[in-house]
Amino acid sequence: MTRLLLVIAVVFALGLFIGVRVSRAEDPYIVLASTTSVDNSGLLTHILPAFKKASGIDVRVVALGTGQALDVARRGDADLVLVHDPDAEKKFIDEGHGINRREIAWNDFIIVGPAADPAKIKGNKDIIVAFRAIWNANAAFVSRGDKSGTDALEKRLWKAADLDPAKAGSWYKDIGGGMGAALNTAAAMDAYTLADRGTWLSFKNPAQLTIVLEGDSRLLNRYDVIELDPKVHAQAKRDLAKKFADWLVSAEGQSAIGEFEMSGQKLFHPEADPKPGSTAS
Amino acid sequence: MSDFGEAAALALKLIVNFDSGLFAIVGLSLSISLTAVAIATIIGLPAGAALATYRFVGRHALIVFVNSMLGLPPVVVGLAGYLLLSRVGPLGSFGLLFTPGAMVLVQATLTTPIVIAIVHRAAEEQWAKHGEAFQVAGATKLQTLPHLLLIGRSQVLTAILAAVGRAISEVGAIIIVGGNIDGVTRTMTTTIALETSKGNLPLALALGLVLITISIILNGLAFALAERKTIS
Smallest Cα–Cα separation from B192: which of B29, B12, B27? B29
CA of A30 to nearest chain B CA: how many angstroms apart?
11
Q: Tell me the torsion sign for CA atoms B21, B26, B32, B35.
A: negative
DSSP class of residue B179 equals T
Interface size between A and B, measured as CB pairs under 8 A: 119
Topology, domain B2-231: MetI-like fold (1.10.3720)
CA dist., res. B188 & res. B22, Å (int): 8
Q: By CB neighbour count within 10 A (0-12 exposed, 13-18 middle, 19+ buried), where does A14 fall? A: middle
A19 close to B35: Cβ distance less than 8 angstroms: yes
CA dist., res. B77 & res. B107, Å (int): 9
Domain residue spans of chain B: 2-231
Q: Do A60 and B184 touch (CB under 8 A)?
A: yes
Smallest Cα–Cα separation from A137: which of A161, A109, A172, A104? A172
| Chain B residue closest in CA terms to A79 | B87
Smallest Cα–Cα separation from A207: which of A113, A76, A130? A113
CA of B229 to nearest chain A CA: how many angstroms apart?
6
Q: Does A6 touch chain B if contact means CB atoms closer than 8 Å? A: yes
pLDDT at B4: 80
Long-range contacts of B3-12 (CB under 8 A, 24+ apart): B3/B201, B3/B202, B3/B205, B4/B205, B6/B202, B7/B201, B7/B202, B7/B203, B7/B205, B7/B206, B7/B208, B7/B209, B8/B206, B8/B209, B10/B202, B10/B203, B10/B205, B10/B206, B11/B205, B11/B206, B11/B207, B11/B209, B11/B210, B11/B213
Minimum-distance CB partner of B38 among A4, A11, A202: A11
| Chain B residue closest in CA terms to A63 | B179
Q: Which residue has the higher pLDDT, A33 or A3?
A: A33
pLDDT at B116: 96
B192 close to B14: Cβ distance less than 8 angstroms: no
Identify the band that residue A177 occupies on the pLDDT scale cut at 50, 70 and 90: confident
Identify the band that residue A280 occupies on the pLDDT scale cut at 50, 70 and 90: very low
Cα of first residue to Cα of last residue in chain B, in angstroms, is 46
Residue stretches of chain B with pLDDT short of 50 = 232
pLDDT at B67: 93
Smallest Cα–Cα separation from A272: which of A246, A255, A197? A255
In angstroms, the Cα distances linking B39 to A42, A54, B95 are 37, 41, 20
DSSP class of residue A270 equals E
**For helices B153-168 and B100-136, angle between their N-to-C axes, nearest 10 degrees:** 170
Angle, CA of B197, B203 and B208, to the nearest 5° = 90
Q: What domains, with CATH codes, occur in chain A? A: 10-107+222-270 (3.40.190.10), 108-219 (3.40.190.10)
Identify the band that residue A281 occupies on the pLDDT scale cut at 50, 70 and 90: very low
pLDDT tens per residue, range B208-217: 988 998 889 8
pLDDT tens per residue, range A198-234: 899 888 888 899 999 998 889 999 999 999 998 888 8
CA dist., res. A222 & res. A4, Å (int): 59
Predicted TM-score of the model (pTM): 0.84
| Chain B residue closest in CA terms to A1 | B150
CB-based contacts of A140, cutoff 8 Å, min separation 6: A171, A173, A186, A189, A190, A191, A192
DSSP class of residue B10 equals H
Minimum-distance CB partner of A15 among B38, B179, B222: B38
Q: What percent of chain A has pLDDT over 70?
A: 89
Identify the band that residue A156 occupies on the pLDDT scale cut at 50, 70 and 90: very high
CB-based contacts of B112, cutoff 8 Å, min separation 6: B39, B40, B43, B44, B163
pLDDT at A279: 46
User: In this structure, which amino acid lies at residue A259?
Assistant: E
Smallest Cα–Cα separation from A154: which of A123, A182, A180, A181? A182
Q: Does A7 touch chain B if contact means CB atoms closer than 8 Å? A: yes
**Mutation target among A1, A2, A7 for the B interface, most CBs of B within 10 A:** A7
pLDDT tens per residue, range A89-126: 999 999 989 999 999 999 999 999 999 999 899 888 89
pLDDT at B198: 86
Q: Do B222 and A7 touch (CB under 8 A)?
A: yes
The string of DSSP letters for A68-115 reads HHHHHHHTT--SEEEE--HHHHHHHHHTTSEEEEEEEEEEEEEEEEET
Q: Do A7 and B27 touch (CB under 8 A)?
A: no
Long-range contacts of A247-256 (CB under 8 A, 24+ apart): A247/A51, A247/A54, A247/A55, A248/A82, A248/A102, A248/A104, A249/A102, A249/A104, A249/A225, A252/A50, A252/A54, A253/A47, A253/A50, A253/A51, A253/A104, A254/A104, A256/A46, A256/A47, A256/A50
pLDDT at A147: 84
pLDDT at A263: 78
User: In this structure, which amino acid lies at residue A52?
Assistant: K
pLDDT at A244: 92
Minimum-distance CB partner of B157 among A7, A179, A184: A7
Smallest Cα–Cα separation from A141: which of A92, A99, A195, A104? A195
